[in-house]
Amino acid sequence: MKIIITERIAQAGIDLLKQKFDVDIRFGIDRIELLDIIENYHGIIVRSVTKIDEELLEKAKNLKVVGRAGNGIDNIDLDAATRKGVMVVNTPESNTVSAAEHTIGMLLASIRNIPQANQWIKSGKWERNIFKGNELNGKTAGIVGLGRIGGLVAARLQAFNMKVIAYDPYISDERFAFLGVEKKQKLEDLLKEADIITVHTPKTEETMGMIGEKELDMVKDGVRLVNVARGGIIDEKALYNALKKGKIASAAIDVFEKEPCPDNPLFESDNVLVTPHLGASTVEAQNNVGTTVATQVINVLEGKIAANAVNMPSVHDRELEVLKPYLVLAEKLGKVYYQLEKKPISKVELKYKGGLAEQKTGPLTLAYLKGLLEPVMKERVNYVNAKLLAKDRGIEVVESVDNTSGQYTNLIEVAVHNGTSTFTMAGTLFGKEEPRIVKLNGYEIDVEPRPYMLLSKYIDKPGVIGRMGTILGIEQINIATMQASRNVKGGKALMVLTVDSEVPSKTINKIKEADGIDNVTFVKL
């Protein structure tokens, strides 16, 4: 497989990729040239300049993964990538410490007038009184966005003996309590109370301009502002006006609505400290970003789930280790339906029981849908586009969890509704991560899903199982395992066999003609 890298990443990341794949390093490649050659690549790694839009994705016939060396994905058309089944991965945690430390550095430099004093003394002057600053001790810090970086900033500000409050409607009360941070239900409550305000939210439609003229009118006189998150979260025009009025004592800004921006009016203000988007610019962060994005891309191209996939549910590495065997199980469960039934599906219900109820089950649902749709779709089906393809086919997907599991520690239960009937299955893991199908359409079984399987409904009477075995023997089909299950003696029963090779259709027809066999289906997993 081939990978193209269009923007600079750490050499350590490039070396990782070269161990596995053919790597083209084309820093700063021209857009037109990239469009001409992108069909030759299975992966592309970018930073913030290369545009991964619908035009490029249309031409990228073999592209499986886009790696973003960094956190934001403003330059990537996520919807178009998802429709094409292209996984987008990034590195959200690789530069968190650097960004948090830069926030603290910007804040301290701003409130103690360090840049101004540095320039003053280097110019041959010596004054102290004109650079009088403020302490952090005893002040109230307001954090907008208590995610990874916001949490690190909170811990560091608490070390200065600050009271820390935060606003983030998407973070649980438990995380606030764990961090020792007071939760504010409304942004305006934080703005009115904080002596220092720092923002750490992603760039979304909701957050762009969230601190504008109206919000800046609410803040305390003499408040200090810091933005090392994304340009535009604090409206630059409103900030400029508030600074001119003296409402805001100082602002420390690392990110801007437009970058680069040498003529930004904010640069005119002596009480504005600016840096050129340096939040992640440390040796440690860049090495982490490079090796992390390389690892993510390698995982995707090797058919694994990437922990930091943007266009599918994200899971941390340790969560992924727990889920891996269940992902295999869920996909195998999905592959069964369309091989046994031909009716279109209206709804799929997935219930995760026992210990699985405590895990992130989103990837398991994607794995099931991938297995379900692959046998009947011409398009490439993967973890990225499986849910979208199900929706396009009118399939409603319902997920639920149940802490109880009965006789199994963990259980995945599936109910597929097709308008006239409901198909049911359940699976679990035995021993050392061994997948098992334990229920099928009301029958209790214990079958390890193998690549080649025969499923048969038959009449529970002497000789039927023997006839099945005899026919397969004559046809040179070796039986690996056999499981029979009945609910009523003498009624219809279910037989599941795993075999060592594919079963030709002529052999299937011979089995169907045997006395007592109701039906038989060959299933490939």
SS3 294: helix
259 classed as catalytic: yes
Could you tell me the end-to-end alpha-carbon distance of the chain, in angstroms, rounded to an integer? 26
Please work out, in degrees rounded to the nearest 5, the angle formed at the alpha carbon of residue 169 by the alpha carbons of 402 and 93. 80
368/348 Cα distance (integer angstroms): 10
SS3 sequence, 368-380? HHHHHHHHHCCCC
Residue 79 DSSP one-character state: H
User: Which amino acid, one-letter code, is at 247?
Assistant: K
94/497 Cα distance (integer angstroms): 48
| Lookup: tokens for 48 | 């913030």
| Lookup: tokens for 67 | 């790696």
Catalytic residue among 206, 259, 358, 379: 259
The Cβ of residue 65 has, within 10 Å, a number of other Cβ atoms equal to: 25
380 classed as catalytic: no
The closest alpha carbon to 386, from 374, 399, 394, belongs to 374
| Lookup: tokens for 51 | 């545009």
136/1 Cα distance (integer angstroms): 53
Catalytic residue among 230, 236, 331, 413: 230
| β strands within 118-192, DSSP E | 140-144, 163-167, 182-183
The Cβ of residue 513 has, within 10 Å, a number of other Cβ atoms equal to: 8
Cβ contacts of residue 253 below 8 Å, gap of 6+? 225, 226, 227, 234, 266, 272, 273, 274, 275
Handedness of CA 32, 35, 41, 43 (dihedral sign): positive
Strand order in the sheet with 443-447: 396-402, 347-354, 410-417, 422-430, 434-440, 443-447
Instruction: Please check whether residue 447 is in contact with residue 481, taking contact to mean a CB–CB distance below 8 angstroms.
Output: yes
Q: What interhelical angle do 283-301 and 11-18 show, nearest 10?
A: 20
Catalytic residue among 47, 236, 277, 331: 277
The closest alpha carbon to 319, from 350, 285, 269, 364, belongs to 364
Cβ contacts of residue 12 below 8 Å, gap of 6+? 287, 290, 291, 294
Q: What residues act catalytically?
A: 230, 259, 277
